[in-house]
Amino acid sequence: MAGNQFAVYQLREIPENRKKRFRSYAELQKEHIQIRYTDYKQVYRSWMRYDETPDNIRNCLAKQLPKKFSGHALSIGDVLILDKNGEAAAYYLEKEGFTVLAGFIRNGSSSTLISLATTNFHIEGKEGSWLAFDNLVVEGKEFFLMEHTTYGKNAAWVVVDGTGKLIVDQVTAGFDETVKEQIVSYLHPQEIREKEGNLFGKTGRKPMKMENI
């Protein structure tokens, strides 16, 4: 998804999902049942205002389902995904309220190695081992904030993508605006180069003349 949109996901109609239907997140966790993106299908997607909340959307859909809604009425176990300017978050519907699902959205790449359960990971070009403790989805791709296993918060963090590639080094304030901008630059390197080229082209500087030596 791109821009300010939301989507509703419901469990696929397959035998493997019978034990997961209409159950709270806590119940599934007690039985060590994983909530996986691949077990769900998208049944509706629509634009939304930037200030929309999961509660607003749930209440609207509870009153009346849109004609293009291809699933059943909202129920426990459904997942709402809100995408605001390319940053997505997933919410597991409970009887009352929601549970935020960290790592529910994946970039679809079979090469994905990192999750929030990752520990003792070795990043190319960095010493020691690292563990993941936070994540952010930008334009459908997941990025992870990594902490040094030995030094913890006494060392700067780093951001890697789902394959473990180093994207942002020397992070001190988590996923702040500066880090987000660096992630976007990584996703769109050509656009950044073009902007920089336009910037230099508008400086009005004349080419330097070479003097005879």
Question: Tens digit of pLDDT for each residue in 16-36?
Answer: 899 999 999 999 999 988 888
Asked if 125 and 137 count as a contact pair (C-beta separation under 8 A), the reply is no
State the pTM of this model: 0.52
Nearest Cα to Cα of residue 106 among 151, 39, 50, 59? 39
Cα angle 157-163-166, degrees, rounded to a multiple of 5: 35
Q: How far apart are CA 92 and CA 58, in angstroms?
A: 11
pLDDT number for residue 210: 38
The residue among 206 and 96 whose pLDDT is bigger is 96
